[in-house]
Structure 1
């Protein structure tokens, strides 16, 4: 009887210990889940801030390039030399491409806000990462094409007898150069957005 009673007491005590540990394990799990959700929400907030900055940079580059125009004074009003962005196909492509980039970034803001409200949702984040990569490709190509033309405008090319026009069209060159700088800021921010989305998906 003594052995049976001892066994019964040990089993009862072990059950009490298990019941006492279970809530502790559940509390630790809930705290870890809450911490992970907080990290995901923080990443989503950072994504929204970077996205808005990228949209502002892309919009500024689009407006600067689209308004680039300068007319040189000449002896008579019948002879005037004008430089405009639409005189060069690379600059026209730049304006169209970055207008699309700006529109996409503006439309993607609600998805970024949804990721803040629902940080565990993977669908909106997948949409953002694929959209960001596609837009990044177009923005990079447009910025690179415009950079080549701006370089020729500043330095010319003696092998092909292309003259540097920035000594005459100073305001035009300053405007298009500023647009190119803004475009590369937007490209850098888009790269950050892709990395942020990849990090957020990894946490899922």
Structure 2
């Protein structure tokens, strides 16, 4: 009797196994790429918002410093030899405010290139970390200058009966209005800085 020949093909199962494993790896890579793309898109959105906030903060801080710098009023009912005048340079706190807010505005201008880098490279950690640290330092300067100036503006509006400090805003109304506007503008700048710090913290956390 002739014996039947038996052929065993062991190649195909291994091929199928290899093909299946490659498909799984490719699928994981695709999912990782999609997740990275989604994360980069959200970070780019935060970076764009960061850039726009910095532009707005530049306008506000320059405006606050300029308004305080030009705050001046002379009472009209005295002769040219005897006049009462109020200006920002009569108060050391107001001088500090002008210098500090001008420094803050300059910093914001210098920070724009770093903000642009975070838009171009949303996954970069170094520029975002630099902005976070710098914003935290600068918001401290902004807050100290604004708080000190707000205390003087309050005294100018209300005085202090306990120390016989009379409110000067009853006479120098325009001067007080200008200084008050500068303080309000700087306060908005503080809010913008807080939002910028939160944006940087969120962007770094997602790494």
Superposition TM-score tier, normalisation by shorter sequence: over 0.9
TM-score, normalised on structure 2? 0.92
Quote the residue 2:34 is aligned against. Answer: 31
How far apart, CA to CA, are the structure 2 residues paired with 1:73 and 1:171?
Answer: 12
Of residues 69, 90, 93, the one that matches 1:90 is 93
Deviates more, 1:183-192 or 1:194-203: 194-203
How far apart, CA to CA, are the structure 1 residues paired with 2:121 and 2:135?
Answer: 20
Tell me, which stretches of 5 or more residues in structure 1 are unaligned? none
How far apart, CA to CA, are the structure 1 residues paired with 2:122 and 2:144?
Answer: 32
Specify the SS of the correspondent of 1:70.
strand
TM-score, normalised on structure 1? 0.94
RMSD of aligned alpha carbons: 1.7
| Residue 67 (1) aligns with residue 70 (2) | yes
Q: How far apart are residue 3 of structure 1 and its match?
A: 11
How far apart, CA to CA, are the structure 1 residues paired with 2:206 and 2:50?
Answer: 15
How far apart, CA to CA, are the structure 2 residues paired with 1:2 and 1:123?
Answer: 66
Greater Cα radius of gyration, structure 1 or 2: 2
Tell me, which stretches of 5 or more residues in structure 2 are unaligned? none
Q: Give aligned pairs, total.
A: 203
Q: How far apart are residue 194 of structure 1 and its match?
A: 1.0
Of residues 159, 162, 179, the one that matches 2:162 is 159
Of residues 83, 98, 102, the one that matches 1:99 is 102
* Cα 1:80/1:8, change in 2 over 3 Å: same
Deviates more, 1:60-69 or 1:12-21: 12-21
